Amino acid sequence: MSLSSFPNPLRNPSVAIVGATGAVGGELIRCLEDRAFPLSRLRLLASQRSAGRALSFRGAPAPVETLDADSFRGIDLALFAADTATARTYAPHATAAGAVVIDNSSAFRMDLDCPLVVPEVNLETLSGHRGVIANPNCVAILACVAVAPLQRRFGLRRLQLSTYQAASGAGAPAMDELAQATEAYLAGRSYAPRVLRHPYAFNLFSHDAEVDPQSGYNGEELKVMAETRRILGSFNLPIGVTCVRVPVLRAHAIALSLELDAPVPPAAIREALAEAPGVCVVDDREANHFPMPVEAQGQGEVLVGRIRRDLGDPSGRSVALFLAGDQLLKGAALNAVQIAERLLVA
């Protein structure tokens, strides 16, 4: 599909970032700068308590303005990095002003009128947007970048995931809490959690999204399952997931087991992943070197390794993988900017 086939193509757009002072907002600013995104103007928007601050963009100060209903006059592209309530309230104002919205919250992800896009996986769905495009859940993005090329080549019958999610997934306050709790722990001082429910330093715990009393799955797990099915275009795909918060600042890791249509040698899996866009294979058995958050953070590719048969499946159809990807970049800001890039006129 050519770039110019998308509705309302953009050329040198004026861009607004909603939630510019948060963790994802800061990464959006850096991504636009690092990738030389051809914008004509950048407007930074946040809550009233952040207004008046000055951030930096392309070597110049960029003032933060208070978000309100009139903030989108003259804006062509609005990148939302705020919570669901903010997105539901202000995205309609942005589209009414003529802007295309790329939203990082969960507000529109299951709205079938809003494409849920991972550019390496389902770019073709972008052509159906009606002014709002949803950026998927970070776990779903990272998993689908690795799973989709295997699904296309070998078929996919079932998917099982266990996640190891960094503090960045809960925002800058959780990252600060991890740093402060670790410092207190090492100094022998007590530290009462303020952002998350449980002690974070040298600890891990189930993702603290609300647990559904009937299924026993929490909200994060249910989102990952629903969004992964939608991104992969397989609404009946059996998926199981367990989401765990681990004491890592940024970059999530995921252990996956994929049941394919037929047995596939690990070498063929490795070859398919090596050719896949957005994937970097890190699979050195001799050196016991596999994907790690410390190597995934700060770069946009999803690191994939531990490629092997899943011996828990006697049919031989299942393969096991381990991946790590930067939650703030490919899991959020970078994916949004890559979507924006595809809206530009060629």
CATH class (in words) of the domain with range 3-107: alpha beta
Return d(Cα 146, Cα 202) in angstroms, integer: 29
Q: Tell me the average pLDDT of the chain.
A: 95
pLDDT of the residue at 306: 98
pLDDT digits (tens, 9 = 90+) for 119-132: 999 999 998 899 99
Mark whether 138 is an active-site residue: yes
The DSSP letter of residue 211 is B
pLDDT at 300 over 60: yes
The yes or no reply on domain 140-330 and CATH 3.30.360.10 is: yes
Residue 4 has what pLDDT? 37
Q: Is the pLDDT of residue 346 over 90?
A: no
Question: Both tokens of residue 247?
Answer: 């004491």
Distance of CA 271 to the CA centre of its chain: 25
DSSP 284: B
Share of the chain above pLDDT 90, in %: 92
- Mean pLDDT of the 285-294 span: 98
Of 93, 129, 207, 252, which is the active-site residue?
252
161-210 residue pLDDT tens: 999 999 999 999 999 999 999 999 999 999 999 999 999 999 999 998 99
Which residue intervals of the chain are DSSP H helices?
23-34, 84-96, 119-122, 138-154, 172-186, 219-232, 266-274, 293-296, 334-342
Does 52 score more than 90 pLDDT? no
The residue from 31, 138, 144, 243 that is catalytic is 138
Tell me whether strands 14-18 and 41-46 are parallel, antiparallel or unpaired: parallel
3-state DSSP assignment of residue 252: strand
d(CA 37, CA 27): 13
Instruction: Say yes or no: do domains 3-107 and 140-330 share a fold.
Output: no
Catalytic site residue 252? Answer: yes
Q: How far apart are CA 119 and CA 93, in angstroms?
A: 26
- Asked whether the beta carbons of 249 and 178 are under 8 A apart, the reply is yes
pTM of the entire predicted model: 0.94
Query: Which DSSP string do the residues of 104-171 spell out, in sequence order?
Result: -SSTTTT-TTS-B--HHHHGGGGGG-SSEEEPPPHHHHHHHHHHHHHHHHH-EEEEEEEEEE-GGGG-
Cα–Cα separations (whole angstroms), residue 316 to 239, 266, 270: 18, 11, 17
d(CA 209, CA 287): 37
The domain spans of the chain are: 3-107, 140-330
**CB-CB contact of 75 with 68 (8 Å):** no
Spatial distance between the Cα atoms of 332 and 325, rounded to a whole number of angstroms: 11
